[in-house]
Structure 1
Amino acid sequence: MVLIEHSNLEEFQDPVNYDLEFADEMDKYQFYLELARSSSGEVLELACGTGLTTIPLSKAGITMTGVDISSAMIAYARLKAKGLTVTFMEGDARTFESDKRFSMIYLTGNAFQAFLSDQDQSDLLTTVHKHLQPHGIFAFETRNPEGTDLSDQEETEWGSFIDKDGNNVKVSGTQCYDAGQHIMHWVTMRDWGYKRTTSRIACRFTDPNTLHALLTRHGFCVEHQYADWDKTPFSLSSSSIISVCRKC
């Protein structure tokens, strides 16, 4: 996932190590592949990053287009996709324009939370609705505020990964929630052994009722909402809201 606010782009300057840290979500790839196969047409991923989901779908025979605002991430996606029939384009999901109409459009990696204002969300959904074929599929996931710990937290350990040079990188971070704006501010610290880096990211939380009303208002019918990639039915205590919609 690559976020669209320029203040959020700090996390996405090193695409090779980004992949090494975040490339192990195979259940997600299968979920979106099944949806894409059911749509029987060309598929667009918005906020595609380095193509972590776009490329597996392309390898499975889906005609794919990926759009992202980060030139570094798109450049690496193109390098990885050499020889595949997939198109990567640099662009902003709020203002993206194409003559194509897609059978399915999706965002993943909680990219929906990158749209930090009402206007951002509206612009995104307007883009999606415009570029979908009649009755086309729109799918995305977002963290559920009702099932997420939104309390302020001091630095805690989040995990680790092996970087491109074989270093074990320890990842930790802090969080601070702005309840008035519904925005979580995360600061991520990575200890590379020989250096320590810091990056910041902000994500908006949208409650289930507001989300449903927002989708309906922009011309989408919500067909399914799941709690996980195994299609467990969503409940108010679920940590994620995975929405599958149709253009009405």
Structure 2
Amino acid sequence: MIDHDNLEEYSDPIHYDLEFGGETKKYQFYLDSAKEMPGTVLELACGTGLVTLPLAEAGIAIVGVDIAEPMLAYARVKGQGLPAHFIQADARTFQSDQRFSLIYLTGNAFQAFLSDEDQLALLRTVHQHLQPGGRFIFETRNPAATDLSDEEESPWSTFTDQDGQLVQVSGSQTYDASRSIMHWVTYRTWPHKRTISRIACRFTDHDALIELLTSNGFEIQHQYADWDRTPFVPSSDLMIMVCAKAES
């Protein structure tokens, strides 16, 4: 089951964009991937459309699905007049008669699926909605290259809010090794207030990820370490998986 705490991070879409937007290399990666697979694209866990909308602006028909309505509402405002359609749904149970040439998740959204059952439900959704030969892409942090130790609050980053104020971002982490789940607590400090949100993310190691994909109807085409398509090695921070729907 997806941890409801995870939704705390997605209640303020305007500041979410200001904090996490601007990953132009990632946007270009998915745009190039979409151009390689002509047809309609599906983004699961699309949020405010940070990646959805650059594809739509390039003329690619795309459907964005997310469970958090505040994020979708902002995506719809930003996407007016573009070939993007946004649907509120759970990626584990999403149903559509449409079939897609490319389905992707980004922002490490794969890690929000916190159990074997959740991961399998997600992969069933993807497999069901891909066209024959369609492509599935997602990225996830590599546990072998991640500090999974418990840490007290420490500074993480900063961003500038919609009023031009500097926001200090800090956080702590606690790892549940029995479930391979990291619990992060994020603190955002404005000049006049301080907010707290929690998020849980599951870490799946590389070998288990390959087994999970290949046993659920996917063929691994490429494995990258970054958005420049550097080949993945065991010490890479990121695992970007490019898969094809296997022929039955």
Residue 11 of structure 1 aligns to a residue whose secondary structure is: helix
1:61 match? 59
Kindly provide the amino acid, as one letter, of the partner of residue 21 in structure 2: A
Quick check: 1:144–1:208 contact (8 Å CA) kept in 2?
yes
| 2:110 partner letter | F
Instruction: Please give the per-residue CA displacement for 1:152-208, whole angstroms capped at 9, x wherever unaligned.
Output: 111111110011111100000001111110000000000011011110000000000
Q: Distance in 2 between matches of 1:142 and 1:231?
A: 15
Question: Which residue of structure 2 lines up, in the alignment, with residue 164 of structure 1?
Answer: 162
8 A Cα contact 1:4 1:92, kept in partner: no
Return the alpha-carbon distance in structure 2 between the equivalents of residues 151 and 221 of structure 1: 33
AA in 1 matched with 2:99: R
SS at match of 1:194: coil
Mapped partners of 1:85, 1:103: distance in 2: 16
Report how far residue 4 of structure 1 moved.
Answer: 4.7
CA distance in 2, matches of 1:5, 1:66: 21
Instruction: Give the letter aligned to residue 19 of structure 1.
Output: D
Letter in 2 for 1:240: L
- Contact 2:27-2:51 within 8 A present in 1 as well: yes
| TM alignment of 1:109-128, pairs within 5 A | 109-128=107-126
RMSD of equivalent CA atoms: 0.9
Q: How does 1:1-248 map to 2 (within 5 A)?
A: 4-248=2-246
Contact 2:142-2:236 at 8 Å conserved across structures: yes
Q: Secondary structure at the match of 1:58?
A: helix
CA contact (8 A) 2:2 2:118 kept: no
User: Where has structure 1 moved over 6 Å in runs of 4 or more?
Assistant: none
Residues 35-65 of structure 1: per-residue CA shift (max 9 Å, x gap) = 1000011000000000000000000111110
Q: CA deviation at 1:5?
A: 3.2
Give the counterpart letter for 1:28 in structure 2.
K
User: Within 2, Cα distance between the matches of 1:237 and 1:181?
Assistant: 22
Corresponding pairs, count: 246
Cα contact 2:156–2:171 (8 A) shared by 1:
yes
Query: Which amino acid in 2 is paired with 1:99?
Result: D
CA–CA separation in structure 2 for the residues paired with 1:111 and 1:134: 24
- Is this contact kept in 1: 2:2–2:114, CA < 8 A? no
Equivalent residue letter for 1:129: H
Q: TM-score, normalised by structure 1?
A: 0.98
Task: Give the secondary-structure state (helix, strand or coil) at the position aligned to 2:167.
Answer: strand
Unaligned 5+ runs, structure 1: none
Q: d(CA) in 2 for partners of 1:80 and 1:35? A: 22
Q: Any idea what SS the aligned residue of 2:163 has?
A: coil
Question: CA–CA distance in 1 between the matches of 2:237 and 2:30?
Answer: 19
Q: Assess if the C-alpha contact under 8 Å between 2:69 and 2:88 holds in 1.
A: yes
CA distance in 2, matches of 1:193, 1:181: 37
The share of aligned pairs that are identical, in percent, is: 63
Q: CA deviation at 1:85?
A: 1.3
